[in-house]
Amino acid sequence: MKVAIIDYGSGNLRSAAKAFERAARDAGLGADVLVTEDPEAVRDADRIVLPGVGAFGDCAAGLRAIPGMEETLNETVREKARPFLGICVGMQLMAARGLEHGTHQGLGWLEGDVVKIEPADPSLKIPHMGWNELEIVNGHPLLGGISATHAYFVHSYAFAVADPAALVAYVDYAGPVTAMVAKENMAGTQFHPEKSQELGLALIGNFLTWRP
C-alpha cells in the first residue's frame, strides 16, 4: 500500500508520517508512507493525505504553486475515488471558500466556508487550543471501534459545513465547532490525529483499511 502525504510547504510533516508508519505497524499492514511534493507520486498512491498548518490562503496558494497538484488531487480523489484524509487546514481546504484575511478559493469538494471561531463566551481564548471531547453526530468508519473520544486541536478558524450529512463530529467551545467531516471517499479532521494519541492512531489505522 502506498500512502502519499502531500508536502506543499505547510510545515514539518515528519510527525504525521511517523504516526502513519506506527499505525500501519500496529495494524500489521505493509505500508509505504511517502512525504512528497510530486504529483506523479500522488497519482500513484493508494491513499492520499493532505495536512496543513497556518492560514487558509497561504496553504491554498502553496498547494496551487506546485504545478499539476490540484489537477492531480481532483483526478485521484474526485474521479478515481481514492481514500483521502485532510488534516487541520488540509481539511479546511476541502471547503468552497476560506474567509481568513480575505476570501480564498478552496478545492470546493464540500459546500461551506471556513470562518473565524466566535465562541459565545468571550472569555474563551482564540486560537482554540488543546484537548476536547468529540460529539459524534453521524457515525463513520474512521471512528469505528474507537473508545477514546478526546482529540487535540489548535486553530482559529473552523469549517461551517453547508450539508449536515457531511458533518461527522463537532466539539463544544461555547458553541459547536466542526471537528470532522466526510463525504464518499473523502474525510477530514480539524484535530491533529498525529497528536491525538489513542484516538488519533486508531483513526489513522481505520483510514489505512477504509474501503469507501
User: Is 37 labeled as catalytic in the residue annotation?
Assistant: no
Q: If you search the block for the grid coordinates 468508519, which residue do you land on?
A: 141
User: Is 59 labeled as catalytic in the residue annotation?
Assistant: no
Distance, in Å, from the CA atom of 211 to the CA atom of 199, rounded to the nearest integer, reads: 20
Which residue in the list 59, 88, 100, 128 is annotated as catalytic? 88
Which residue in the list 40, 111, 194, 198 is annotated as catalytic? 194
- CB distance 2 to 47 below 8 Å: yes
- CB distance 77 to 84 below 8 Å: yes
Distance, in Å, from the CA atom of 69 to the CA atom of 37, rounded to the nearest integer, reads: 8
Q: Which amino acid is at 147?
A: S
Total residues belonging to the chain = 212
- CB distance 135 to 98 below 8 Å: no
User: Is 88 labeled as catalytic in the residue annotation?
Assistant: yes
Provide the phi-psi class of 2: left if phi over 0, else alpha when psi is between -120 and 50, else beta. Answer: beta
| C-alpha R_g of the chain | 16
Which residue in the list 104, 128, 155, 192 is annotated as catalytic? 192
- CB distance 159 to 112 below 8 Å: yes
Catalytic residue IDs: 88, 192, 194
